[in-house]
Amino acid sequence: MKNKKKLKSSRLFLYAVLIFLMVLMLIPFIWMLSASLKLDKDVFIFPIEWIPGKPRWKNYIDIWTKIPLAAFIRNTSKLTVIVTVLQLLTSSFAAYAFAKLNFRHRNTLFLAYVATIAVPWQVYMVPQFMMMRSFGLNDTHTAIICLQAFSAFGVFMMRQFYRNIPDELCEAARIDGMSEYKIYAGIMLPLSKPALSSLLIFTFVSTWNDFLGPMIYLKSEEKKTLQIGLRMFISQYSSEYGLIMAASVISLIPVLIIFILLQKYFVEGIASTGIKG
C-alpha cells in the first residue's frame, strides 16, 4: 500500500519534471507564434498575453510585401532540392563502389574522404571562396550547390550502411549476370531506404538552414536565401517585432513538415552514425 503510494508520487514527480522541461524547450516557439499575431506595441506587454485577444493575422499578409519573402523561399527551395538530390545520388553511387567493389586505390581514395571529414568547413571556407570567385561563381546559386552537394559525410554515411548489407547478395546477383549498375539500382537502393532518408533529412535541414555559406557568397538581393533574407530584414526593421516573428514562423514550417514526416529516420540516422553536428 505504502509502496504503491510512493510509486504514484514518484510518477507524478516524473511528469512534473517532464512538463517543466518541455515548457523550457518549447517556450520560445510558443512565444514566437503568439508574438507573430500581435501589434508591435503589444509584443512586450507583461504579464505575457499568450493567446492574443485580437489575433492580428495581417502580419502574415504584410510580410510578403514588406520583403521579397516569396523570392527568398523560392531560392532556398531550389537550392535545397538540387543539393539534396545531387547529394543523395552521387554519394550513394560512390558509396556503393567503396563498400562493395574491389578496385585499385580504393583505400587511398576513401582515406581522402575520411581525412576531410575531420577538417571543419570553416577552416577552408576562405580558399574555397577565392577558388569559386576565380571560377566566376561569386554571387551565384551554383556556388552554393557545389559547396554543399559533394560532402564527404554523405559518402561516409552511405558506405557504413552498405557495408552492413551482406556481400553474398551482390555476389549472387553477379553470378546471375547482373551488371554493377543494375545491382546498385535494383538491389542496393531499395534496401538503403532508411539510410537515404536519414541523409535526405540531414541534407535538407542543413541546406535549408545554412547561413554562413549563403552569407559569404550571395550578394544581390534577388538571389538571397530565406535565412539571410530574414536576417537582413531583422537588422533593417529591428522593431517590427510582429512581422519578424511572422516571418520566422513561416521559415520554420517546411522544416517542421519534413521533420515530422521523416523523424523516425532522423532519430535512427543520428543513433547509427551520430556524426553530423
Partner 1 sequence: MDKKISEEKQNNLMGKNASKLAVLEKQLDELFSRLEVVKNQKGKEKVLINIAKTRNKMKHMKYGGVFSKEAKRNLVAYSFIAPNFIGFTVFTLGPVLFAFVLAFLKWDGNNPMEFAGLDNFVKLTTDTRFLDAFVNTIIFSAATVPLTLLCALGLAITLNQKVKFRNLFRTASFFPYVASLVAVAAVWNMLFSPANGPVNMLLAKIGVAAQNLPKWAADKEFAMLTVILFSVWKSLGYYMVIYLAGLQGISRELYEAASLDGANGRQKFKSVTWPMLQPTTFFVVVILTINCFKVYDQIYMITQGGPGTSTLVLVYHIYETAFKTWDLGYASAISVVLFLLVLIVTLVQFKGEKKYVNM
Taking a C-beta distance cutoff of 8 angstroms, is the pair 201, 269 a contact? yes
List Cα–Cα distances, 48 to 30, 38, 102, 191, in angstroms: 11, 11, 64, 51
For the segment 107-146, give every residue that binds partner 1 (CB under 8 A).
109, 112-113, 116, 118-131, 133, 146
x/- string (CB under 8 A) for partner 1, residues 24-63?
A: xxx-xx-xx--x-------xx-xxx---------------
What is the smallest separation between the CB atom of 102 and partner 1, expressed in angstroms? 7
Return the residue of 7, 22, 257, 261 that touches partner 1, per CB under 8 A.
22
Residue with the three cell numbers 553530423: 276
When binding is defined by CB under 8 A, the residue of 6, 9, 12, 17 that contacts partner 1 is: 17
Length in residues, the chain: 277
**Torsion sign, CA atoms 74, 75, 76, 82:** positive
Binds partner 1 by CB under 8 A, chosen from 82, 173, 178, 255: 255
Provide the minimum distance between the beta carbon of 175 and partner 1 in the complex, in angstroms, as a whole number: 15
Smallest distance from the beta carbon of 268 to partner 1, in angstroms? 9
- Tell me the site size for partner 1, rule CB under 8 A: 96
Nearer to partner 1, 78 or 237 (CB): 237
Out of 1, 104, 166, 176, name the contact with partner 1 by CB under 8 A.
104
Question: Nearer to partner 1 by C-beta: 28 or 53?
Answer: 28
> Residue 87, SS3?
helix
Nearest-10 Cα torsion for 207, 213, 214, 219:
-170
Q: Contact at 8 Å (CB) between 202 and 255?
A: no
Contact status, residue 103 vs residue 97, Cβ threshold 8 Å: yes
Torsion angle of C-alpha atoms 65, 69, 72, 77, degrees rounded to 10: -130
Among positions 147, 157, 196, 199, the unique one binding partner 1 when judged by CB under 8 A: 147
Written as nine digits, the cell of 270 is: 543520428
Q: How far apart are the first and last CA of the chain?
A: 48
**Contact by Cβ (8 Å): 262, 144:** no
Determine, following the binding rule CB under 8 A, whether residue 175 of this chain makes contact with partner 1.
no
Q: Cell triple for residue 199?
A: 541523409
Q: CB 121 → partner 1: shortest distance, Å?
A: 8
- Report if residue 13 touches partner 1, rule: CB under 8 A: no
| Min CB(220)–partner 1 separation in Å | 16
Site string for partner 1, 206-245 (x = CB under 8 A): --xx-xx---x---------xxx-xx--x------x--xx
